[in-house]
Amino acid sequence: MDTTKQENSIELTKSGLQHISETRKWARLLAVVGFVFLGLATLIVPFVGLISGMAGHAGIGFVTVTPALLILVLYFFPIYYLYKFSSHAKIAEQQMDALAYEMAFKYLKKHYRFIGILLLVVLVLYVIIGLLAGLGLALS
């Protein structure tokens, strides 16, 4: 009786590899544009807070800048995961390396998991805000 465990393997067709190649190129574009907008927003948001403070609205500047910077920090992670997916997929494509494909798909999974969790958090916040707004209308 053979006690050796044999791993299942999957072979990708030429067409499948082309789909992954095209996907990684679009992912790279989205990541690079995301990083550019993230950088611009990181420069602009504190500037808006500074202008608000100079206009005599110091509290408004802090209240505006802090959540905006937190959102930018949150936005960094899915962009970073897309970039890593693209980088590893490119290495895998060039070297036909199964481990690099594994790493690429690991980062793609992280990207979608992050986006999914963020979506759920935002939906819960919308429900809570809606309930609070409804309660406020009912009490007034």
Report if residue 1 sits inside a domain: no
pTM equals 0.82
pLDDT for the residue numbered 111: 98
The tally of domains found in the chain comes to 1
Confirm whether 11 is domain-assigned.
Answer: no
Alpha helices in 55-97 (DSSP H): 58-95
Whether residue 23 contacts residue 89, with contact meaning beta carbons closer than 8 Å, is answered with yes
Q: What is the domain range of residue 49?
A: 18-139
Kindly give, in sequence order, each residue whose CB lies less than 8 Å from that of residue 46, ignoring residues fewer than 6 positions away: 65, 69
pLDDT at position 139 is 84
- Is residue 52 over pLDDT 90? no
